[in-house]
Structure 1
Amino acid sequence: MTDFDDPSLLAAGHALGSLTPEERAEYEAYLARSADARREATAFEAVAAALDGDVAEATPPAALKARLMAQVARTPQLAAAVTAETATAVGVPLVADSRVVSALTGAPRTSADARARARWFRRPGVILVAAAAAVALFAGGTAVGVAVDNGSSAVQHEAATLAQISAAPDARRTSRDVAGGGSATLIWSEQLGKSVVVLDGLPQAPAGKTYQLWYIGSGSVVSAGLVTTRPGERTWQVLNGRMAAGDTVGITIEPAGGSNAPTTKPIVAIAS
């Protein structure tokens, strides 16, 4: 027997080919007896293929959204080992603590099954598939290749945070066109005080410049990190700091390394 009482939790690992022989045997037996499981497996395989860049795009069925988000919400998303210095450098906020896990799950999990799920969801590929699916489901309905380093603890942490935001019961999203081309989608949760932007079709920043994110509140403008885009690719970035109710998220073009305050007019501003 594996550590899991719910074989559906093995779906992402099966799509990635990262199950142990015992886990694979259990999941394949589950597939043989459940048509719903087979449909879900097909959807996860499409997302995994898109994540690896093997296909241009894949559209998951609408029913996958509720299934995926329910699975993420009941699974403890554990902290990656990211230092404050690393977090500042790559624009990754420090890890959500047990209070965030409690907010997502209703209560801290202490059972052997919860610990097993926590170990499973530390696996980078599982976190990244969940993040790719979250981007697909919340920011346009299609899964696209995500250019990330699967070995990066910072990227793993960002992916876990994205999954948390998307799984929150109050998660909302708004999209806006960006001056100069492309679009920006803001996904946020007031309950968690967190947000993520998904940028689609933005050109690279001019030489010597960078895109900078800002929280714009009543009488204050606070940097929320830097973001790098690649032509023709969709990019997502978890914002640094805490998002307050009513904040607007703006993006400006700033000198490389960023600015303490905006020096240009925002190319997009999205009200929460």
Structure 2
Amino acid sequence: MTTAEVHTLTGAYVLDAVTDLERADFARHLAECPTCAGEVAEFRETAAKLGAAMTADPGNRLRSRVLTEIATTRQTPPTVRSETRTPRSWRTRTAGIVAGVAAAAAVLVGGISIGSLQSEPAPAAQVAVSDAPDANVLRADGTAGGSAVVTISRQRGEALIATQNLPPLDAGHAYQVWVIGSRGAQSAGLLHAGSGILTVPLPADANRIGITTEPATGSPQPTAPAVVRVPLA
């Protein structure tokens, strides 16, 4: 690493975004460079202030929408490159890291909702359930893989069900969602893939939601054990 490159590591060093070798090189450099030492002290002070600012509770509605988006959004794998690092590339990487921290702070402190970060708005029914004053978010893992995130609003009488990575089924079968209470199991709809979203009515007596594997056309009552069970608080 050249002398010019090491001067650009202050931000990355404070955010622990350097390799072990880079950290050791920069630590030796700090002992000899008062300019970098001053920048590191300033960055640490800023990071501490951001950390203190982010201790505020973002609220249940934001948490609900984040969990719903996580359950249905495919994560893009990182791009791996092999390149020679230059002073400019170090500045670019540090700026990106700092921007990421600032964005996280904005979401948590400013209350930016996931809907405002999407390229396409969520359907109104999904937003209404997630934004309900009594929205409650519940999560359960599947018995054979995958998971479900259920957001319920007793005031609205609705539930938002988001599944992710349930085992794939053949063309003759689908996942059927059931709302279960004192009157038994009532069908809430079909999911023909392992990941999807349904907004369904939530009867007052409902105390759990189940998902079973059924024929592709659906069943009047469950015919198989539940692959996901979500008790409703």
TM-score (norm 2): 0.50
Larger proportion of strand: 2
User: If you compute each CA radius of gyration, which structure gives the higher value, 1 or 2?
Assistant: 2
TM-score (norm 1): 0.43
